[in-house]
Structure 1
Amino acid sequence: MNGPIFRLLACALAIALSALPSAALAQHKHRVVILTDISNEPADQESLVRFLTYANEFDVEGIVATTGCWKKSDPDIAAIHRVIDAYEEVVPNLRRHSKDFPDAASLRAVTFSGVDGYGMEAAAKQLDNAAVNHIISLIDRDDERPVWFCAWGGGNTLAAAVMKVRMDRTQAEAEAFVAKVRGYEIALQDEGFAYIAHRYPNVKLISSELQWRGISRTTPTFNKWPETRGGNDEVFNADWVRHNVQTDHGPLGQQYLTAEYLHEGDTPSFLYLIPNGLHFPEHVDFGGWGGRFAAVRQSNIRTGTGNKTVDPLLDQHRDYAMFSDAKDSWTYEGTAYNNEFCAIFRWREAFQNDFAVRMDWCVKPYDQANHNPVAVVNGDKTRGLIELKAKAGDQLTLNAAASTDPDGDQLGYSWWIYNEPGSCSHTITIQNAKTAQPIVQVPDDATGKNFHVILTLTDDATPPLTSYRRIVVSVD
């Protein structure tokens, strides 16, 4: 940090600017509904705590207690309310860092108990459930943005809404309704998403079959899935959680439970939606904190839960296809990885540092906490996708010198090529890759291809925070 006077001035400026949400930020907010089988084990409640520390980044339009293969009845809405109650106590402090945090009353108003029962058999009998009707009203709302459903358990409450619309409306009306549905489900914990995908093949649904396991190492008592391990495990274990979340971080941190199997297996579903300049959710193959998925839908994906009751339910809705796990290649401290888990754990240090700071926001004043740098590339101050055209053999000069840090911290620049989402297989070199103004050499034989340049912009605070920009270069 660069001294108390600078920090006080930066604090005053940031508070003044945050009083009104910027137009650029509003453009990138996603409409989000959480579907959670909370209390089946600690991970859902852990994820809900983290999610609420990012509530300023989304339009939170629903938090629904649901069922799934590990909790087949009795959706636990009370557990959601306990976490919201704790959030209410820290909202005043969170708003010292961003005025966009919603009040607890608005969250309670969109909290519902979903279908009580397992799978579509239960859903078909509860089409007048309050959560089902709420979902229908959200999608029917005069808002061009789609609605993202993050399914941490089963998806039968969402599927019940689709079933009801399918019964009550014309085919064209039902198709228009489903066209606004987006979903990211963890491990297929019932057949709800398969029900929708079978009947509406163009629906944009993501099934993270196994990739979600890359979020953290399993607990010592569970100690399984060694193939999922990689990167820095020390930033997501019980000791890290105690220090950065559970202890001295207020009532919300006290709601973060101790993991039994894996920390926060459901969290990738909303990490995918955080507008940090890296993820653009309509492009499932771009990759980022919430993972990366194949650009072509995969047919008849199996459950990733290990629960033997799910696949027979899925088979009732063959054929169905959804976007699912893709592999990334990454090298960390001399170890090379090439698997689907790497698509998440390669980002672990960054998203854990970010969460640690969000928990600091729950208890610390502005001038005692860190805040994300603002990455500005070629004059573009938004967090949006930058698309450039180039000719084969060109040299592209990018300029991030206008980037700033709200706390006055020093900034580190790293420009690199994210190979997997691009179509150019040739080596692309970047000169001055650790400076604000790199030069990208377009290959001579790259005509008709594209490639992705990523700026990773990191401050020098403790813990350091990272922002990104993604530049997609299309070669004519």
Structure 2
Amino acid sequence: MTDGEIDDHSSMIRFLLYTCDVEVCAIIETNSIFQREGHSKEDWYENQLEAYAKVYSNLIKHNPDYPTPEYLKKVSFIGDEDHDHLRGLIKKRWELKPGAKTTFTPENWKDTPGSDKIVEVMLEKNPEPVYIQAWGGGNTAARAFYKLKKDYPDDYKRALSKVIMYNIWYQDGAGNYIEQNHPEVTMLYCGSFAGTWNYRSQKNTYDFIENNVKKNHGPLGSLYPQDYVSEGDSPAFLYSIANGLRNHEHPTYGGWGGRFTKFNQFEKVYTDAKDDGDIKKSLRRWVNDANNDFEARMDWCVKGYDEANHPPIVKTKGDKNITIKSGKKISFDAEKTKDPDGDELKFKWWQYKEPGSFDGSVEIETTNSKTVTFTAPRVSKPETIHLILEVSDNGSPSLKGYRRLIIEVVP
């Protein structure tokens, strides 16, 4: 869901280049306390879809899973843009955080094509998670959840238990309404986008946008409206990308979409977590990797497969989740990792401490080789360790592939 703010335009261009990595069920234009009328009456989004259509034939040379332009138009909808549903909230904007009082409830609101589409998707028998992103306000989802509870009581819990809703702030009253009235929904509240991805956060990227996005990269890149990377909403969809970091599997894992910790007032509400004591680091640590990947995908708009770069395909022997006893040695083998372009590869293994329950550090032998070994630490109760393998190629731009291994150490 997008409220059409200028940085949403920038995020949408990046998002369109990642539609091959997810199943896009709906793109919904909404409003927010900052964009009270929404922007669906303007043609910014339609212009981007037209530009996407012009580069589509080139994009599928790199990944055949890109959805057709016709499909994306078919799943585009208008949601709640009624400014009366935001009445008085701009004065309370800094109070709209997890645990705050409910300000609006949607029982008397009209359905919209956007809310009806959410209901339709949620009623499907498909048990897979449904990732809903609130780049602006979430009122459209709030109305959909209300309708599911009222009109489909037999399906309600099954349907909403599938939802992971990633909120870039709470930009209307929906966040507090949903967490208190629909506790089946997993709610992620991201405030750390500010200072990492939003306005003036990446002021070192003027040349990057000029040379790698706007110039000589086709009609989609030429629509990028800002002069530097300013995409406050991009973490919301980066969270759901299956790039090997498994960010999307659980809010506490961490990855391109940040890392979260449980909010103590609700069972399924999560807020920004700190890495190394820094609340912004769980997003900032991945920014360069994500931007390099974006640069490569902009190349996909205009270059043939052999002319562009593609990320390494990272593989390790065995399962991604391993159980081992204290004091035992264990080895991990990434010999089958390959690069689709034949580039040289560099390997880096490291312990991502914060997602794991084990508070200490593990000593990893030869962290820059394809195979590593370490000894499981002594523990008095089961503990988890998250081990990340980053594989970098020497292409232009240099791209990374990942593999996260979760090791449970038992006494």
The question of a shared fold, defined as TM-score above 0.5 by the shorter chain, is answered with yes
Once the two structures are TM-superposed, the CA of residue 132 in structure 1 deviates from its matched residue by 1.2
Partner of 1:205: 187
User: How is 1:12-51 mapped onto 2 (pairs within 5 angstroms)?
Assistant: 35-38=1-4, 40=5, 42-51=6-15
Partner of 2:52: 87
Once the two structures are TM-superposed, the CA of residue 320 in structure 1 deviates from its matched residue by 9.5
Matched, 1:142 2:130: no
Once the two structures are TM-superposed, the CA of residue 72 in structure 1 deviates from its matched residue by 1.1
User: Over aligned residues, Cα RMSD in angstroms?
Assistant: 2.0
User: How is 1:288-299 mapped onto 2 (pairs within 5 angstroms)?
Assistant: 288-294=255-261, 296-299=262-265
Residues of 1 paired with 2:321 and 2:142: CA distance?
36
Partner of 1:268: 235
User: How is 1:332-351 mapped onto 2 (pairs within 5 angstroms)?
Assistant: 338-351=277-290
Partner of 2:216: 248
Aligned counterpart in structure 2 of residue 157 of structure 1, from 121, 137, 140:
140
Q: How does the TM-score come out when normalised to structure 1?
A: 0.78
Alignment gaps of 5+ in structure 2: 87-103
Deviation string, structure 1 residues 357-398 (Cα, Å, up to 9, x no partner): 000000000000001111110156xxxxx0011111111111
1:281 alignment partner AA: H
SS at match of 2:251: coil
1:462 alignment partner AA: S
Deviation string, structure 1 residues 154-177 (Cα, Å, up to 9, x no partner): 00001111122222233x532233
Once the two structures are TM-superposed, the CA of residue 83 in structure 1 deviates from its matched residue by 0.9
Q: How does the TM-score come out when normalised to structure 2?
A: 0.90
Residues of 2 paired with 1:174 and 1:53: CA distance?
33
The change in CA–CA distance for 1:290 and 1:155 in structure 2 (over 3 A counts) is: same
Aligned counterpart in structure 1 of residue 273 of structure 2, from 307, 321, 326:
326
Once the two structures are TM-superposed, the CA of residue 447 in structure 1 deviates from its matched residue by 4.4
Partner of 1:187: 169
What fraction of aligned residue pairs are identical, expressed as a percent? 33
Partner of 2:28: 64
Deviation string, structure 1 residues 48-86 (Cα, Å, up to 9, x no partner): 000000110010111110000111124426322111111
Partner of 1:53: 17
2:78 alignment partner AA: S
- 8 Å CA contact retained: 1:117, 1:123: no
SS at match of 1:401: coil
Partner of 1:432: 366
Once the two structures are TM-superposed, the CA of residue 200 in structure 1 deviates from its matched residue by 2.2
Residues of 2 paired with 1:72 and 1:267: CA distance?
21
Deviation string, structure 1 residues 230-287 (Cα, Å, up to 9, x no partner): xxx57x5222111111111101101211169x70000000111111100342310000
Matched, 1:444 2:409: no
